[in-house]
Amino acid sequence: MKKPRHLFELFFEFFKIGAVTFGGGLAMMPIMRREVVETKGWATDEDIMKILVISESTPGVFAVNAATFIGYKIAGFLGALVATLGVIIPSLITISIISFFFIQFKELTFVSYAFYGIQAAVAILIFKAAFKLSKKIHFNLFVSMIFIVSMILALLTSINVLYLLLAGAILGILYGVIIQLKEAKKA
């Protein structure tokens, strides 16, 4: 496997990836694969697969997960740091500039009209994202119950979302233990 000549080269590569990716981390993966695996030869397809699998079962911002993992594979801790900074800094620059004008910009009449439409689009995009995620899990009775209860509680009460996540994790562990005990009894 090749190595970047300099950490700056690594930074610049991930900066490019961060600057051209629209719509979140998963959209970034094909571009990252093309640049880092095909063009530069710094990592392998296996590395890309690994980070996809790891991200399935770890929390966090997907793009940062990918940059940290691939950066570490390429050049250790500094590589991870430089790649992560690279992928973040384009956002930081773009959004900072937009933020300075955003509130005033929104007060223009026709822009405020536009944002009624944009909010509706955002609602649909969020729904689509949830639907996509739901295709990746297997809905048995337990999983469906958790899904429905979490949705209803979040919709109808102002309960802290973190408690719901915590409850979900604990129930998952309890359920896993019960299933295991049942199987142990059968055997």
Partner 1 sequence: MILELLRLAWIFFKIGLFTFGGGYAMIPLMESEIVGRNLIDINTLYDFIGVAESTPGPIAINMATFIGNEAMIQYGILPRILGSVVMTTAVALPSFIIILLIASLGSKFLDSKWVKHAFVGLKPTVIGLIISVSVALMLRLVFPLLSLKNSVYDVTIFNYKNLIILGVLILINRIYKKISPILFIFIAALLGIVMYGLF
Site for partner 1 in 143-172 (CB under 8 A): 143-144, 146-152, 154-158, 160-162, 164-165, 167-172
Task: Tell me which DSSP letter residue 39 carries.
Answer: I
Residue length of the chain: 187
133/184 with CB nearer partner 1: 133
Name the nearest CA neighbour of 35 among 76, 77, 85, 87: 87
Report the alpha-carbon distance of residue 95 to residue 9 in Å, rounded: 24
The yes or no reply on residue 73 touching partner 1 (CB under 8 A) is yes
Q: Which is it for the CA torsion 144, 146, 149, 153, positive or negative?
A: negative
**Binding residues for partner 1 restricted to 77-106, rule: CB under 8 A:** 77, 80-81, 84, 87-88, 90-92, 94-96, 98-100, 102-103, 106
Provide, rounded to whole angstroms, the least separation between the CB of residue 46 and partner 1: 13
Give the pair of three-digit tokens for residue 185: 């009894």
* Residues binding partner 1: number (CB under 8 A): 100
6/106 with CB nearer partner 1: 106
Q: Which stretch binds partner 1 (CB under 8 A): 6-14, 36-44, 117-125?
A: 117-125
Report the alpha-carbon distance of residue 47 to residue 27 in Å, rounded: 17
Provide, rounded to whole angstroms, the least separation between the CB of residue 86 and partner 1: 11
Contact 24, 63 (CB under 8 A): yes
41/145 with CB nearer partner 1: 145
Q: Which stretch binds partner 1 (CB under 8 A): 3-11, 34-42, 47-55?
A: 47-55
Angle made by CA atoms 63, 64, 66, in degrees to the nearest 5: 65
Provide, rounded to whole angstroms, the least separation between the CB of residue 123 and partner 1: 4
The yes or no reply on residue 3 touching partner 1 (CB under 8 A) is no
Report the alpha-carbon distance of residue 35 to residue 180 in Å, rounded: 44
